[in-house]
A and B are shown apart, each in its own frame.
Chain A
Amino acid sequence: MTTAIHTEQTSPDVAGVDKHSGKDVLLKVRGLRKHFPIKSGFIFSREVAAVKAVDGLNFDIYRGETLGLVGESGCGKSTTGRTILQLHRATEGLVEYEGVELTTLKGNKLREMRREMQIIFQDPYASLNPRMTVQRIVAEPLLVHGIGDSKSREKRVADLLELVGLNPYFADRYPHEFSGGQRQRIGIARALALDPSFIVCDEPISALDVSIQAQVVNLLEQLQADLGLTYLFIAHDLSMVRHICDRVAVMYLGKIVELAESEELYTNPLHPYTQALLSAVPVPDPNVEDSRQRIILKGDLPSPANPPVGCNFNTRCPVAVDVCHELEPDLIEILPEHWVACHRVT
């Protein structure tokens, strides 16, 4: 398969950020790929191509931090989150959680690991089973893992609801009786039920009203402070990401193009894609806003089933040169803690 070539280009330690240390790596992702096969044929179908949703990711998540994952629709952000949680099984690569390799885990061992990692979903309407009461929804993780009896589970659910700012009195209600923000809190309560240390937030606020967004973000931050949680925060709202994240990774077409601490990334974006992305963020100061130079990218996102040769971004890059069409750039540390995958940045 063609993927073998890519693996050589991005050596597993390229983003071995742990050497900069002092920092405690909770989750290590190396060479992660998730390809969805495109099949054709009658009954005995064969794979004719693959959508390369995630195509070779290398990054670490430190304990207690919030790592933002941004990028436009269809660039593989959500797939990354789900592959880390083993909701999708990786096509290739490693996901190590506290030294435990997840991609090969199965059955009960994987189920045990799931207690550590949870997910909060984007759509608070689709993420709660409409046929279950809040009590049953929040208690389900406990039930699945056989924790406590029904009495203690009820107590635990009440605690959790209170923790996320809901009145436990409503535990016997069905999800449709709650508003979007309230439902999102129920989803958060469910994610917290097993006392995880790592939570993938898959665009947890994009489906909410702006006023509710702030509430939910504050809740997430509060919970992080209180419970020592680590977040992988997937979003496309760049200003929200700047607010909540310690570090930010920018994805384009299944690859990370830039990874840096939040302030560094927003003040000193090096990759042309990141620059274009950030130039689209409106500034709430009319004087600055007037002088804001927008970088408008030409064309559409190429199909992830057939990405361009060389640098993924070369079809739309304003500064692409010949080498960009031939060689795939590695993610390299240009500045301390600032990783960029671009031939033009040195």
Chain B
Amino acid sequence: MAESNESKPVQLIDDESISQKHSSPMGDALRQFRHNKASVVAFFVILFFLFMALTAGIWTQVGLLDHARGYRATHTINPTGWEGVDAWPDPGHCARDNLDRDEQWCAYLSPEEQLRFSDKCGRPDLTEEDLEQRQWCYLLGGDSQGKDWLSQTVYGSQVSLAVAVTGSTVSLIVGIIYGVISGYYGGRLDNVMMRFVDFLYGIPGLVIIILMQVYFREISREYSDSEGIVGFVVGLDKSMGGLFFLFIAIGLLSWIGMARLARGQVLSYREKEFVEAARAVGASDRRIIFVHLLPNVIGPLLVAETLAIPGYIFTEAFLSFIGLGVQPGVPSWGEMISRIRQQGGLFSNRHIVLVPSIALVALTLAFNFFGDGLRDALDPRLRGKV
């Protein structure tokens, strides 16, 4: 055909009408996203939290952060500031480090001063290194057991982000597979699959999650030492600080909305002419789904998922708050707030509740703003709509 005949172009379209500037859908989206200041800020807030969560261990190792002892003091603090401390050490106050009151005093002097007053401290055997070890400050205060609040908040972000990542991954993968199969193949299969989703949708999710966690708790207690797969799962959960069961509980219902959305998107694109064109050249179902449908439907799904992440974070915080989330001793924001409730100190030390709460609000808001910007960037037609 084209090779075999000498036909000339009927008439070459004037190239001027095609913009010389190249633009691809992804490039346009990125440009659009950068225009939205709030989303860009939110994006960096998320990145910051992610960075802190991933590097918390490193900070501890290099000594800038310590779970039990707080921030390393950069300078010594007047020891008189120690007076009047109650169960919740105030921000800016330094750790007692299990020394008695006299020794405590010593701990807040510079090494040179401490050596100078070593007789007063009653510990002439302390080396300079020992003394330096003791210089820790609670930048954001500490808890009643003398553990640093800031460090716990940073470690708590690990839990929140782990739940955010797992919840959204499970929801996206399961929801998209389920929704695409249902929407693409249609018919009775679609009908049955969607009635099942409707059924799950009718169940109050939080109640199910709570019941599941109660059940998992019981299983952990019952099978803590057993062999086999149950023992393995329980052990795995224990080593993850209770996160594994939390993932299951949150992931189990998270995909429902995604499945519905994915199905709707596929339905709207399935009848598009470009899909029909692909069918007309004999493209396989797999090719139509992966090459033609998914790239087109994925945008709104990603946006919806981003906007669903705060829900997962709140669910985890809520479960941990009522004691059904992470295991005791694992810092999580919800669990930290719950500890304030149990041990008191809300009035004497208001900052203590603010620290995890602000972190929680900042992260969830960041995901919301980020999702907003993502939606505007991926689908300009939806701008300004919810």
A residues neighboring B (CB under 8 Å): 42-45, 82, 85, 87, 110-111, 114-115, 117-119, 121-123, 126-133, 140-141, 144-145, 156, 159-160, 162-167, 169-170, 172-174, 176-179, 181-182, 185, 187, 190, 192-195, 215, 218-219, 222-223, 226-227
Contact = CB atoms under 8 A, between A and B. Distances in A.
Contacts of B284: 144
A181 B273 CA distance: 16
A177 B23 contact: yes
Given A126-B272, A129-B274, A43 B195 contact: yes
Contact of B7 (A117, A129, A226): A226
A129 B292 contact: yes
Contacts of B15: 167, 169-170
B2 A160 contact: yes
Contacts of B85: none
Contacts of B386: none
Given A45-B188, A165-B11, A179-B17, 12 more contacts: A110-B282, A123-B273, A129-B274, A129-B295, A130-B25, A162-B9, A167-B12, A167-B13, A172-B22, A182-B17, A182-B18, A223-B7
A140 B281 contact: yes
Contacts of B61: none
B277 A190 contact: yes
Interface string B12-39: 1101011100111100000000000000
A165 B188 CA distance: 46
B3 interface: yes
Nearest to B296: A131
Given A129-B292, A167-B13, A173-B22, A118 B280 contact: yes
Given A129-B296, A182-B18, A114 B280 contact: yes
Nearest to B280: A119
A119 B277 contact: yes
B11 A194 contact: no
Interface of B: 1-3, 5, 7, 9-13, 15, 17-19, 22-25, 188, 191-192, 195, 272-274, 276-284, 287, 291-292, 295-296
A292 to B, nearest CB: 34
Contacts of A162: 2, 9
A158 B180 CA distance: 34
Given A130-B25, A144-B283, A121 B11 contact: no
Nearest to B276: A87
B278 A140 contact: yes
Contact of B18 (A117, A165, A177): A177
B198 to A, nearest CB: 11
Contacts of B276: 82, 87, 119, 121, 127
A176 B221 CA distance: 60
Contact of A87 (B13, B279, B295): B279
A141 B281 contact: yes
